[in-house]
Amino acid sequence: MSPVPDPSALRSRARLDSFGVFGELSVGPARHRVARIGELVTPRMPYTIRVLLENLLRHEDGERVTREQIEAVLAWGSGGPATVDVHPSRVFLHDTNGVPAFADLAAMRDAMHAIGGDPAAVSPRIPAELVVDHSVIADVFGSPGALERNVELEYERNAERYRFLRWARSSLRNVRIVPPGKGIMHQINLEHLARVVVADDGWAYPDLCVGTDSHTTMVNGVGVLGWGIGGIEAGAAMLGESLNMPLPPVVGVRLTGALRRGATATDLVLTITETLRSHGVVGAFVEFHGEGVRALSLPDRATIANMSPEFGSTCAYFPVDEETIRYLRFTGRPPAHVALVEAYARAQRLWHRAEHAADYTETVEIDLGAVEPSVAGPHRPQDRVPLSQVRRRFREAAGDLPPSDGLPHGVVGIAAITSCTNTSNPAAMVTAALLARNAVRRGLRSRPWVKTTLSPGSRVVTSYLDAAGLTPYLEELGFHLAGYGCMTCIGASGPLVAQVGQAARDDGLTVAAVLSGNRNFAGRINPDVRQNYLASPPLVVAYALAGTVDTDLTSDPLGHAPDGSPVRLADVWPAPEEVARVMESAITPEMFTAAYRDVFAGDARWESLEQQDGDRFRWDPDSDYLRRPPFFDGMSPEPEPVTGIEGARVLVMLGDSTTTDHISPAGAIPADSPAGRYLRERGVARSEVNTYASRRGDHEVMVRGAFANVRLRNRLVPDVEGGYTASFTEGGRVRTVYDAAMAYRAAGTPLVVLGGAQYGTGSSRDWAAKGPALLGVRAVLAESFERIHRSNLIGMGVLPLQYRPGENARSLGLTGHEVFDITSPAGAATVTVRADGKEFEAVVRLDTDREREVHRHGGIMRLVLRRLQDR
């Protein structure tokens, strides 16, 4: 490296160089400007902190990013608490979060026009890449035409949303969209979009990616530092706002040994999830090191990194090494770019040394050799169950059940090979396909009551299964291709087999789902399914054959051959040597090149969609998919003073591990729910009601969906399941949450929510904050918060409050029936809460000056708009 010869170019980008690190890196004929962190880092500094250091050095301006921030990073591990301002290189979105995020920008353009500004000033300043993958539903399954019919239905239901995305692509700068049918966002990111090192405008720097889906962490497996943020914060990031965050602790996970025969990457990640969720890593970076890293393929690393939100960490990082470079070459990245990645990582001391052990905040050790076949469930990803214990755990969770006529309790209603988490892993997919082949050859078939679907995250998957001649065996068991999208993993599972769904609704049959996904929260996968188990793709096939979770797959037969002999899992599980041979012969680099050659080009349906032109979107007042968001209505030029909350009532009182699915469900909209009734009253046919996820562009639907999960347990109405509460302004009458909130609004009563530990776990769902805010919720008081959800609440102007250590609603004697007064949080570390004679202090979880500023403005988007109008 040598000094940069043209400092005037740097000054034009408002960059300072207080530490004298700007230099140049030559890779072949190309020369790149760089911030030379290799001269500043110590051998004991975690790799993730090194990436943050580079980001701060390159963006130092003396105002937002200061010398003091950089010095705090250099003193990482020895200094006190500090906050830093990080600038992502790009924002990554999917359609169900991206539509409302772009709708917010369209509404901001309207607001900018109203105050005499230039609407075009509201436009992304960094690349914003969106993949349409969350809208296809598994309506049709188990037949050769399933894919085509599901795509047809997808376009019929979502054409209006897709036309809006085409407007966003043409009217907003720096927006690129991957149309429907190409795969799942995180698998596309891993296999194609991830740069690892960005080369832009003469500079080279690490690809720091933030996304509106919490599983953005999947690219941590290929050496990209990235994590999930809410759609609200993503909108601000697109508009050039930095991410202000506390300098995180870094938990080192030392991997030793190697996986034994019969154990998969899924089994490993479920073990890691159980271990780290128990250890406690919320708000922390997790970084993997040790000799065991070398034993993991890059897809194995990506499977682990994908589930970072399940164990609660901000990221789950694997630094760049030889395996990273091999994967980049194999997946068709340009040779010159692969050379840049390797040269940059080596020169910047970002190249992984397996023996490297940083001065981590904490260290956790995991022996890969101790991992055993497992599933997780029935309601949380961290609840790992050894395969031999599934029957016992099912019966414990189900409790005493009355006898069921016809089908027995525990039937598998859904067996889905789905989700980027595991379909990105060729070893897992080939194992599943070989198991299917072996089962078919032994005369086994899936049980007729099981809904079997295959929805991989990449077209490459079907290419190598076809090349290996294994697709017919999966289809013989009903695993026909249903779509390239998230589908069952996000609750777009479609209806069950009619007999099963009817028995679940009418007779109380306890139905189970087994899926190779990452989330299994209550009510998420299907409203008729009460128990959900995460499993590897081969175990999904096995449970489709067995047809029940009330079995022990380690000893009981999956079924019987035509001659009556029992066939057990061990009889059909393929040898790892055969899996390796199939992968070696069937998977080629050309498959990746072909799959991504035209990834941003749509099919004839996509290209034929009409789209609007112009800087401002023309909202259709009759639409029930897209309405102008109300978040800027009544906005004053300056923020109002921050005040306390007086005379508030509790809207809902919830327990531990309340997820964003509980707060804002994503799956099918029940016809008899407030949202379903609203749509039916507007003339929407029952078959066209669609999902909450697809309706996120219409706040009238989504506000009615807040706290509407069919499995919600609200302690104000302990004997009622679903989206109901006690309306104290109506004498405690049991109402839907929406109807009660409207009664409170009419009475001028502010609202609060009481929660337990780990409030807001799960998806980075902006509507889990938007919905409560529109219902009138002013504050959430909980024992602890998941990182992304707390940020989303602040982004909507909702105050997050936390009980002091050792205190909770029970210890303070709170029932939720009280009237609450909360003092002003302006500049305060704690507030005083008074509730019908009880008085206690609560911690204000506005952890940084930026968060306090956002709350003062009533939300991040209002803050950004006010800044834009001042420019």
Q: Give the 3-state secondary structure of residue 332.
A: coil
Q: Among residues 412, 445, 430, which one has the least CA distance to residue 514?
A: 412
pTM: 0.91
Which residues are registered as beta bridge partners of 668? 691
What's the rounded mean pLDDT across residues 422-432? 97
Q: Which is nearest to 131 in space by CA: 215, 187, 85? A: 187
The 10s digit of each residue's pLDDT in 498-523 is 999 999 999 999 999 999 999 888 88
pLDDT of residue 14: 61
Band of residue 857 on the pLDDT scale cut at 50, 70, 90: very high
Task: Check residue 4 and give its pLDDT.
Answer: 35
Do 715 and 653 contact (CB within 8 A), yes or no?
yes
Residue 798 has pLDDT above 50, yes or no: yes
Q: Give the whole-angstrom CA distance, residue 737 versus residue 404.
A: 33
- Residue-wise burial string across 208-220, b where 16 or more C-beta atoms lie within 10 A, e elsewhere: bbbbbbbbbbbbb
pLDDT at residue 519, as a whole number:
87
pLDDT for the residue 690: 87
> pLDDT per residue over 16-49, tens digit each?
999 999 999 999 999 999 999 998 998 899 999 9
The pLDDT-based confidence of 12 (bands split at 50, 70, 90) is very low
DSSP-derived letter for residue 759 is: B
CB 141 within 8 A of CB 104: no
C-alpha to C-alpha distance for 711 and 783, rounded to whole angstroms: 21
pLDDT tens-digit map of 370-380: 999 999 999 99
Percent of the chain with pLDDT over 90: 87
What residues contact residue 320 under an 8 Å CB cut-off, 6+ apart?
Answer: 196, 223, 341, 342, 345, 350, 351, 352
Confidence of residue 322 (pLDDT cuts 50, 70, 90): very high
Backbone angle region of 134, left / alpha / beta, with phi > 0 → left and psi within -120 to 50 → alpha:
alpha
The percent of residues above 70 in pLDDT, for the chain, comes to: 98
pLDDT tens-place string over residues 98-156: 999 999 999 999 999 988 889 999 999 999 999 999 999 999 999 999 999 999 999 99
Distance CA 137, CA 499 (A): 20
Nearest-angstrom CA–CA distance, 667 and 675: 12
pLDDT for res 700: 96
Domains, the chain, with CATH or none: 2-85 (no CATH), 87-246 (3.30.499.10), 382-587 (3.30.499.10), 645-870 (3.20.19.10)
What pLDDT shows up at residue 9?
33
Q: What is the number of residues in the chain? A: 871
Q: Provide the pLDDT for residue 399.
A: 85
Instruction: Tell me how many degrees the CA angle 771-773-775 measures, rounded to the nearest 5.
Output: 70
pLDDT tier for residue 2 given thresholds of 50, 70 and 90: very low
The pLDDT of residue 354 is above 80? no
**Strand-pair partners of 35:** 22
| Mean pLDDT estimate for the chain | 94
Looking at residues 463-468, what average pLDDT do you find? 98
- 589-598 confidence digits (pLDDT tens): 999 999 999 9
Average pLDDT over residues 287-302: 96
**Contact at 8 Å (CB) between 724 and 714?**
yes
Q: What is the pLDDT of residue 773?
A: 97
ω into 378 cis (within 30 of 0): yes
The amino acid that residue 140 corresponds to is: V
- Cα 161 to Cα 617: distance, rounded to the nearest angstrom: 12
What is the bridge-based pairing of β-strands 645-653 and 820-822? antiparallel
Mean pLDDT over residues 699-727, rounded? 96
Count of beta carbons in the 10 Å neighbourhood of residue 72 = 18
CA R_g for the chain: 26
